[in-house]
Amino acid sequence: MTGNMKYWFLFLAWGFLAFPVWSQSPEPTEKDILKKLREGPEETVWPPYSVEESMAGSKLAPMVRVFIRGKGPFLFLLDTGSDITLIQESLVQETGLPARVTDNELRVTLVDEMRLGDIRFRNFMAGIRSWEGPVDGILGYPLFMKSRLTIDLPRMRYALEPSGEESSSVNTLRMNRVTEGVPSFPVRLGNRQADIIVSTGLSEYIRVPESGLEYFNLKLPPVPAVSTNSFSVDEEVTMARITDNLVLGEHIVMEPILTISHTGEYRIGCGLLRYFRVVLDPENNQISFLRNSDIPIEIPPVRQLGFVPRRDERGWMVDKLLPWFRELDLNIRPGDRIRQVESRDAVMLTANDWVELERLNNYLTLVLERDGKEMMLDVPVRIILP
């Protein structure tokens, strides 16, 4: 997987070319390393019934509960756009998983058993990484490459079962062969055909490369924006609304909003996937976008706070003020510690929670701490892209 503007799932690049294959000899090649990380489990033990479970997190950051070596539950982000599984370093220590360190101080582990619902995944390699926040790990798509995975974001549920008969739904599209560890499908975007990756770890609507912007008809010029993900906030993006509609089977997405990146990947994120029940069936090379309505989807305006929050080991703090926000003179300064957001403990928020809070509110009530003193403020949320 290529890098992509510091987006969280792309910090996988830290280890792609240095992970060892789980053996003593011979010395693995780069091809061996990449292949091992993108392989699914050696064994999947299915119960005699389909597994359906509720998801935690939010519609922009779906999380599932897993058990490792009988311990848990632990919260893992479900990210179909990630081609490896990552585990928090502290969780590796808690569960007693073995850790290997390469010459470049990159770390991997062999997970002998992970349980998701009543399904047991045995013997697969995962990366080890440290980060701040309530997420214990990321489940990459290779774990499900031999399964039919249904992600129902409107109901916040998921289902897993062995692949069966092909779907004949008009809303079932051809999935590309999963050779890079992530699912993608061909779709017409603007004036060109593109392969787009399904990324449930991405909170945006559609992410496109800067080089592809010329193929779209823009309704408004691109505007600077703050892009959030599950572990960090990245303000180095621009967003634009286009006049071209996106067609998925019989579903029409009216004038979608694009996030413009510096890499060559096209991705569809939870901003748009939350309208659908998505069924990924790599064994039959199919992907289905199902919903209970045929009314075209209208993407609401983008609303954001005027400051950039940053997570550290203590929670969230105010990192930077945007120019328009400084003019309001609300007595908020970089370095202020964020204690509560809408009466919620800020420590427990993911970055994608910020997106959902901004989308639903004209103002956010924050409790900030500065020099040991707390203050409560109503902070406006502004529409940056109509």
Structural domains for the chain: 32-145 (2.40.70.10), 172-298 (2.40.70.10), 302-385 (2.30.42.10)
Beta-strand relationship, 297-298 and 251-254? parallel
Q: 104 burial class (0-12, 13-18, 19+ CB within 10 angstroms)?
A: exposed
Give the distance, in angstroms, between the CA of residue 329 and the centroid of all CA atoms in the same chain.
34
pTM (two decimals):
0.84
Average pLDDT over residues 103-110: 72
Name 190's Cβ contacts closer than 8 Å, sequence gap at least 6: 212, 215, 216, 217, 242, 244
Average pLDDT, the chain: 85
Residue 31 has what pLDDT?
62
Round to whole Å and give the CA distance between 257 and 205: 6
Give the distance, in angstroms, between the CA of residue 113 and the centroid of all CA atoms in the same chain.
24
Which element (helix H / strand E) includes 370?
strand 363-370
Neighbours of 153 (CB within 10 A): 21
**pLDDT, tens digit, 9 for 90 and up, residues 242-289:** 999 999 999 999 999 999 987 778 999 999 999 999 999 999 999 999
Round to whole Å and give the CA distance between 110 and 100: 9
Beta bridge partners of 308: 320
Round to whole Å and give the CA distance between 338 and 283: 46
Beta bridge partners of 61: 58
Residue 46 — pLDDT band, cuts 50, 70, 90? very high
* 63 pLDDT more than 90: yes
Which element (helix H / strand E) includes 246?
strand 246-248
